[in-house]
A and B are shown apart, each in its own frame.
Chain A
């Protein structure tokens, strides 16, 4: 069956440019999460969506980061005025409902490189 799909799989851009990362969750999953994984680091939580609303966006590192979800499905993570420290793998996950007792299903991520 279809899993979580992320695009692009790789993105190289120049410092100062804006980037958009896309996540297609598993159909019917109401919860969607964005994480960031830097080299040698663990997964860092960014934002959680339940439906189209984001009850927890406490992990977004700065106001250059924003995310939205439309139709209770596709989500886009936008990074404005990218900096070199934004280079990382951005992972999206979805689950049937509120996490805790639900496993999360991950995509394979977008590898973002800022030159």
Chain B
């Protein structure tokens, strides 16, 4: 079955630095990979989607890469701010195409 891992449960960085979060997957080659942000007590909020034939996608201070050879996606937040503090989830579509499989998330804390 598909397996998705976010290798850091927590990441602490200083304001202004670039945060890099990692998502690895096994046993599957997804056509799409998505990243979400979740704040405490709230549902996840969609950030970015990247397709298997796209190497990189950007949105404002966010950048996502997708390496299908390494089976890995990297999520970058440049010029990080305390407001970026949240849990970030990566997700990929299951083989049946009926649901998303989520990683457990990485909790990012940006200190000023």
Contact = CB atoms under 8 A, between A and B. Distances in A.
A and B: bona fide binding partners: yes
A106 B43 contact: yes
A101 B91 CA distance: 12
A100 B41 CA distance: 26
A59 B45 CA distance: 22
Interface in A1-30: 4
B70 interface: no
Contacts of A59: 99
A71 interface: no
A43 interface: yes
Given A42-B89, A43-B89, A101-B32, A109 B43 contact: yes
Among A45, A104, A109, the most chain B Cβ lie within 10 Å of the Cβ of A104
A59 B98 CA distance: 11
A101 B53 CA distance: 13
Interface residues of B, number: 25
Given A100-B97, A101-B32, A42 B102 contact: yes
Interface residues of A, number: 25
B98 A56 contact: yes
A61 interface: no
B41 A108 contact: yes
A42 B89 CA distance: 9
Contacts of A42: 89, 102-105
A33 B99 contact: yes
A49 to B, nearest CB: 10
Contact of A101 (B51, B101, B105): B51
Interface string B73-103: 0000000000000000101011011111111
A59 B103 CA distance: 16
Interface of B: 31-32, 34, 41-46, 49, 51, 89, 91, 93-94, 96-105
